[in-house]
Amino acid sequence: MKNSQNFINQNYLTYVHYNSPKTKEKRSLLRAFWVGGVICCIGQGFRYLLEFGLGLKGDELSGFVSMIMIFLGSLLTGLGVYDRIGKYAGGGSIVPITGFANSVVSPAMEFKTEGYIYGLAAKMFVIAGPIIVFGVASSVLVGLIYFVGYLIF
């Protein structure tokens, strides 16, 4: 039996590659830049507000800002606005923490129809799962490097 590799028709693939419509890179980058920037500015705005208004400091401050941004991301997802922002901005709305909230809330909403346990709860981390796994793994790795570096120097 042949496997997938045997079927490759390189001439056709090259032809398809050169003729297929391409993503408009400059436009996408510009949109991602300004929307992503605005999201970060909002975050920074909350930071100043909490820092100078409520006098929060350090971990407390960054924790609070994250919570507000996650809440806003989730709320906008629930209202059906965030996917429109994402459609326009691409990476600009995926990279900030609001994008992470969106990636957790959207499958939770979608799979609610299959019940709260096997649907909502089980499928909640379908998209965010890999981010958490590799995020935790890489933070452990970086921590180890930092620790070893601290012992040596």
Contact footprint for another protein (CB under 8 A): 4, 7-10, 12-13, 15-16, 19-24, 28, 77, 80, 82-87, 89-90, 93-94, 99, 102-103, 105-107, 109-111, 113, 127
Q: How far apart are CA 15 and CA 10, in angstroms?
A: 8
The least distance separating another protein from the CB of residue 15, rounded to whole angstroms, comes to 8
**Spatial CA neighbour of 43 closest among 95, 107, 6, 1:** 95
**For residues 109 and 131, which CB has a smaller minimum distance to another protein in the complex?**
109
Given the complex with another protein, which of 6 and 151 has the nearer CB atom?
A: 6
Q: Which of 137, 135, 110 is nearest to 124 (CA)?
A: 110
Minimum CB–partner distance for residue 153 and another protein (Å): 43
Shortest separation between residue 119's beta carbon and another protein, angstroms: 10
